[in-house]
Amino acid sequence: MLTDESFLRYQRQVQLPEIGEQGQQALQQARVLIIGAGGLGAPAALYLAAAGVGSLVIADGDKVERSNLQRQIIYRDDNQGESKAQAAVTQVKALNPLIRARAVTARLAKLQLAMEISLADVVLDCTDNFASRHAINQACFEHGKRLISAAAIRWQGQLMSFDFRTRQGPCYHCLFPNGEMKAPQNCSETGIAGPVVGIMGTFQALQAVKAITDSGDLCVRQFRQFDGLSLQWQQFALPANPQCPVCSKES
C-alpha cells in the first residue's frame, strides 16, 4: 500500500495502467546506479528522483565547472567548484525528500565499480569515454544487470539498452569492440547542443522506469541514433557478436 503522501506525489504516474500502485512500489524499492553526473546523468537523476526511485546512487569524480552549466541542468551557478556527485545528491533530495540518495565522489573503477553494480537493480551509463563504458558493460554483464547506455556529441545522441539477467548478448562490446576504439570523442572536443544530451538522459530515465515497472519494450537488440538538426531517429538491429569476449559463451 502506498502512503497518502506517496499517492498524492506520484498520482499522475500511478494512474497509468502500466505502472499502478504495484509499479510505484517497485520504483520505491528499486536501486538505480547513475555513473556520470554530467549532461546525461543530470536529467536522468532528476526524473528518477521525481518518479520516486527509492534509492539512487550517483557517482562522479569531477567538480562542477562553469562550462558544465550550459547543459548539466541539475547544477546551479553557485555549485561551481563542488563535487558533482554531492551537488547532484543535494538537488535530488531537495526535489524528493521521500527517496534516499548517496554520492560516490570518486570515479568508479575496478572493485568499487563491481560492488556498486552488484547492488543496483538498473545501471545507467552516463559517462563520456570508451574505457568507462567498456568497464561498466563488462561488470553489468558479469553481475546480470540491466544497463541503459546513452551518448551524445554535437547534435547527435545514441541510445542502447541491455538486459543481462539472462546472461546473453548483445552487449556494448559487440557494437564497439576494443580493436575499433577511435580516439575518444567527448563534448569538450566536439561541442554539444544542451537539449540533445538532455533528451538522451531523459530517455535513459524513461527506460529505467520501464525496466523497473516491467512496462513496455526495452528494445534491447536495437541501437538508436537521434539527430537533433533533422529530428530524425535511425534504428539499427544490434546483433550479438559470437566472438565477443564479454558476452559470448564460446570465448
Of 157 and 169, the one with the shorter C-beta distance to Zn ion is 169
Using CB under 5 A as the binding rule, whether residue 196 contacts Zn ion is answered as no
Binding residue for Zn ion, selected from 171, 200, 220, 238, defined by CB under 5 A: 171
3-class secondary structure, 33:
strand
Q: Which residue has the cell 528522483?
A: 49
Q: Which of residues 229-248 bind Zn ion (CB under 5 A)?
A: 244, 246-247
Establish if 140 lies at the interface with Zn ion (CB under 5 A): no
Which of these segments, 12-20, 36-44, 110-118, 163-171, binds Zn ion (CB under 5 A)? 163-171
The single-letter code of the amino acid at 124 is L
**Which residue in the list 171, 187, 244, 247 is annotated as catalytic?**
187
176: DSSP letter:
S
Catalytic annotation present for 174: no
Task: Judge whether 187 and 39 are in contact, CB under 8 Å.
Answer: yes
Q: Contact at 8 Å (CB) between 125 and 133? A: yes
| Residues whose CB is less than 8 angstroms from the CB of residue 77 and which lie 6 or more positions away in sequence, other chains included | 69
Number of amino acids touching Zn ion (CB under 5 A): 7
CB 163 within 8 A of CB 144: no
| 169 touching Zn ion, by CB under 5 A | yes
Closer to Zn ion by Cβ: residue 71 or 134: 134
237, containing H or E segment: strand 232-237
Q: Which residue lies nearer to Zn ion by CB, 17 or 179?
A: 179
Q: Does 136 bind Zn ion (CB under 5 A)?
A: no
Angle between helices 41-51 and 194-213 (to 10 degrees): 40
- Which range in 19-27, 56-64, 150-158, 174-182 contacts Zn ion by CB under 5 A? 174-182
User: Which of 171, 196 has the CB closer to Zn ion?
Assistant: 171
Maximum Cα–Cα distance for the chain, whole Å? 54
CB of 164 to Zn ion, least distance (A): 10
Active-site positions?
187
Residue ranges binding Zn ion (CB under 5 A): 169, 171, 173-174, 244, 246-247
